[in-house]
Amino acid sequence: MAIIEAQEITKVYRLGDIDLHALSGVSLAIKKGEFIAVMGPSGSGKSTLMNILGCLDKPTNGKYILENIDIGNLNRDELAGIRNKKIGFIFQGFNLLPRTSAIENVELPMLYDGLSAKDRGGKALEALRNVGLEGREDHHPNQLSGGQQQRVAIARALVNDAPIILADEPTGNLDSKTSAEIMELFVKLNTQSDITIILVTHENDIAAYSRRIIKFLDGRIISDEHKERL
Amino acid sequence: MINLPSTFRISFRALKVNKMRSALTMLGIIIGVGAVIAMLAVGTGASKKISDQISSMGSNLLIILPGATTAGGVRMGSGTQPTLTMGDAEAIQKECPAVQDIAPVHSGVAQVVYGHQNWSTGVVGTTPSMLIVRDWSLAAGRSFTEQDVKSATKVCLLGQSVVDNLFGDMDPTGQFIRIKNVPFVVNGVLAPKGQSAQGQDQDDTVLIPVTTAQKKLFGTSFPGMIRIIMVKAKSTEDLSSAEKQINELLRQRHHIGTKQDNDFTVRNLTQVMQTAEQSTKVMTLLLGAIASVSLLVGGIGIMNIMLVSVTERTREIGIRMAIGAKTWDIRLQFLIEALTLSLIGGVAGIILGISGSKLISTLAGWTTIISPFSVLLAFGFSGLVGIFFGFYPAYKASLLDPIEALRYE
């Protein structure tokens, strides 16, 4: 059964008098536990797709169903609720709150879920332990390396037990060794916890960690192939 | 679901990070609240002072003065013509229904001696009803009586200042003093009244029976003549009818024709004072209103800083939205920040206002009264200012597009 189902999704931006077709008719079905790499040159529509899959944006036309919920019918706050419970975002620039300790960053999604301070602390510690950051709870982002910051972001994405992780070039700011470590972490989460991972990347060796590669060009899918992980 | 304690923590943290900016923003509110409290304290103090003076003068008081004499074309001023008599006083008491009580006054300045101490003071010949007319009570001893007035007894009541000057800490009741070398028994001591509206020490006085004053101390060529009649009307509403009744009665008694001027004057001091009290109240309101403007300006300062803060933290807002912050989560976060600024500013402003008004009363010697109402008003107003001026920035923040916000550099 598909956890994500996109049917004929189009996204049109109006720039003055010109209509810009960021996505022109994308259909996609993703099953639970898949590990997908989305590739393509810039402007090919992969970021737009990620925004729509992440419920940050709504398609101009077409239907998006996430875990049997039709996203098109939801209002702003309901979308925020979906992002909070179902989706974990990982960004290229980490996007941690500055001047805020690692553990408080990880607690943030639970805060917006209305959990008590006691429950939040315990779950956040556990999430940090899972990404190998035990003992760094009270470090602020500027006291952590890039790889460590990305681990905090991963802990934050996972802490509300989201079934889907959307990662937009998660290793773009990291050196190759750290990139490999982060990718190993994604593989571990994918195989051990059956978390669906969709990541955008330019690099073939990052895409090599996935088991399905979707290539974009000019707002359309030009190839979609399943493969064995290397 | 909104988690209030955590939202509060988030807001406090943001304020702590920008300590200097938060403090400067608060300054506007601090000054505003401080000014409102201090100005209201000054105004309330002034009204209180005036109303105290009204009550120390005696409430619902009318004063009747004799007319002016003209000698060879020189008009001698009010009170120089001996037109008022004891008969007038008694007639007013009997025939004017709006009058509660009257006290005739025949006075002069005389030297008062006790032992080897002496003191010059105003000696007032009157009747026991003086104490009623002027709402005066006794601190010690007892008053003289109507019988004392009839038989012109040499007894007196001393004001507190006279007691201080002649007796020090001693109890003067029952002692003999000499006024213009005439021995008097001290019957009692008047309760202190303090300064009058004109700044006179109302306690620097000696009361004696009016007949004693006329016969023994300040004799005149017109027997029964008195200098002033003090009248207490039955109520504030009766003041003007009492004035009218007295005018009619005295014109009739003095045989004044319809086209002739009065040979006496009726003064309504209470009314004058009440007008003054009204105008102080207006002044208080005005001062408060002007001070409120600075509170308003402080509020605009908060809005300004909150708008800057929202712009600066666009990316943070984007992150929060991406991980599930709802419209009201964001709105409350910024609203609480604004409210915290204004309320902490409010508390500091209360401290500033209270110490400011203490300083004013010490330096300028004005009476200042800080009413709990004005403190509550200023504090509540600062809270309202925080919510009012905090809402727009918070509203703006909550409507940001999460994608745009995340991309913001």
Asked if B403 has any chain A CB less than 8 Å from its own CB, the reply is yes
Instruction: Closest CB to A109: pick one of B17, B323, B326.
Output: B323
For residues B68 and A22, which has the higher predicted lDDT (pLDDT)? A22
Question: In which element (H, E) is residue B30 found?
Answer: helix B19-57
Instruction: Closest CB to A56: pick one of B315, B322, B327.
Output: B322
**Average predicted confidence (pLDDT) for chain B:** 87
Work out the end-to-end distance of chain B between its first and last CA atoms, rounded to an integer number of angstroms.
30
Interchain CB distance below 8 Å, A54 and B13 = no
Q: Which of A217-221, B3-7, B156-160 has the lowest mean pLDDT?
A: B3-7
Cα separation of A26 and B388, whole Å?
A: 46
Longest dimension (CA), chain B: 105
* pLDDT band for position B257 (cuts 50, 70, 90): confident
Look at residue B394 and tell me whether its pLDDT is greater than 70.
Answer: yes
* pLDDT band for position B254 (cuts 50, 70, 90): confident
The count of other CB atoms within 10 Å of the CB of residue B74 is: 8
* pLDDT band for position B80 (cuts 50, 70, 90): low
* pLDDT band for position B27 (cuts 50, 70, 90): very high
Q: Which of A7-11, B65-69, B116-120 has the lowest mean pLDDT?
A: B65-69
Tokens representing residue A64 in the block: 């998006």
* pLDDT tens per residue across span A53-99: 999 999 999 999 999 999 988 999 999 999 999 999 999 999 999 88
* pLDDT band for position B72 (cuts 50, 70, 90): low
**Number of CB pairs, chain A paired with chain B, less than 8 A apart:** 64
pLDDT at B81: 67
Task: Determine the average pLDDT of the residues in A26-45.
Answer: 93
- As separate numbers, helices (DSSP H) first and strands (DSSP E) second, chain A gives 7, 10
pLDDT at B75: 67
**Average predicted confidence (pLDDT) for chain A:** 92
Rg (CA), chain B: 33
pLDDT at B71: 61
For residues A229 and B33, which has the higher predicted lDDT (pLDDT)? B33
What are A's interface residues with B at a Cβ cutoff of 8 A?
51, 54, 56-57, 76-77, 80-81, 83-85, 89, 91, 95-100, 108-109, 111-115, 117, 156, 160
Cα separation of A49 and B74, whole Å?
A: 107
* pLDDT band for position B281 (cuts 50, 70, 90): confident
Chain A residues whose CB is inside 8 A of the B402 CB are 56
Phi and psi for A29 in degrees, rounded to 5? -130, 130
CA angle B388-B391-B395, nearest 5°?
Answer: 160
Domain ranges of chain A: 33-60+76-226
Look at residue B1 and tell me whether its pLDDT is greater than 80.
Answer: no
Coil/strand/helix, residue B97: coil
Task: Determine the average pLDDT of the residues in B163-178.
Answer: 89
pLDDT at B315: 94
Q: Residue A51's closest chain B neighbor by CA?
A: B403
Q: Which of A20-34, A72-86, A208-222, B61-75 has the lowest mean pLDDT?
A: B61-75
Interchain CB distance below 8 Å, B403 and A80 = no
- The rounded percent of chain A whose pLDDT value lies above 70 is 99
Task: Determine the average pLDDT of the residues in B142-147.
Answer: 89
pLDDT at B74: 67
Interchain CB distance below 8 Å, A85 and B315 = no
Interchain CB distance below 8 Å, B1 and A80 = no
* pLDDT tens per residue across span A1-30: 789 999 999 999 988 888 889 999 999 999
CA distance B401 to chain A (A): 8
pLDDT at A117: 84
Cα separation of B36 and B30, whole Å?
A: 10
What is the pTM assigned to this prediction? Answer: 0.73
For residues B147 and A1, which has the higher predicted lDDT (pLDDT)? B147
Q: Which of A91-95, A160-164, B81-85, B401-405 has the lowest mean pLDDT?
A: B81-85
* pLDDT band for position B390 (cuts 50, 70, 90): very high
* pLDDT tens per residue across span A119-128: 899 999 999 9
CATH numeric code, A33-60+76-226: 3.40.50.300
